[in-house]
Amino acid sequence: TCQCFLRDDYVYCAVGMRGYFASNILRQCGFSNVRNLIGGYRLYSTITADYSSAGQPATAQLPAKDSPSSHTQVPEVDACGMSCPGPILKLKQSIDQIAVGEQLCILATDPGFARDAQAWCDTTGHNLIRQETIKGKYKVTIEKTACKEEGTCVNETPAKGKTFILFSDDLDKALATFVLANGAAAMGQPVTIFFTFWGLNAIKKPHAVKAKKDIWGKMFGMMLPKNSKGLGLSKMNMFGLGAKMMRMVMKEKHVDSLESMRKQALENGVEFIACQMSMDVMGINREELLNEVSIGGVATYMNRAEEANINLFI
């Protein structure tokens, strides 16, 4: 018999679980005298710690409860590869598992996550410690607070904002959206338009932009309107003839065009937010959209809706 099979072998890990599995594997391989450190090295360190100063009056100042010690390891959550609202849902699940005052870091590749995380913290009352961009990944550090549970974060200011979700790329529906948005902005109220799926076609740049796309993005690009001037009517479009007739009548009646209304909305401070998830699905790149458009996700919109008293889906 090999001498190594007769000696005593000791296996240990942090808490004893991996050591237990390793000891069973070694026994199956012929090692008979295998010992596992039950409870792991953490329990061993606790038992063998020096408690000679126990019972003596404490002289050192205790750290504040709301200031985690510098050596405390902040858990890191990986949400890379997820599209909206995946990272926000992952953040919610992870924040529920830590105690008040603790922090966590979450990594995501979704370009709209950093903005969503800020909006989520504004709504829930948790503290956004920092935001970083590391090699194409967005890292957000958040501290959990008890503010939401204790009911001290309720905004008592009455909501006055207006939010619109433009889901359709029909010319008449887009016109209605910008008419309402400009009217609300003229009354001095904060207005946000959230463009999702087909509605993204209403905020494309007037001239084609070269962008690198995969096969699916190219197929969508061939089927979707190139810009807002290619939008059709929801009824009586007649292969685009109806939309041209509508624009002609609007010009004769001195009604601003869709492009003019869109420009007025931006000048009046209306916020344009493009849904990142919809952009990914439909193969639309950031370079194809107007420069004034910001990128966000469901959390960003819900934050704006929380501060609004009118929310319309068009």
Catalytic residues: 84
Interior angle at CA 165, CA 149 and CA 273, nearest 5: 80
Tokens of 54: 């126990």
* 153-159 contact pairs (CB < 8 A, 24+): 153/124, 153/125, 155/306, 155/307, 158/309, 159/306, 159/307, 159/308, 159/309
By the 8 A CB rule, do 120 and 303 touch?
yes
CA-atom Rg of the chain in angstroms: 29
Rounded to whole angstroms, the maximal C-alpha distance in the chain is: 102
Q: CB 242: neighbour CB atoms within 10 A?
A: 17
First to last CA, the chain: 80
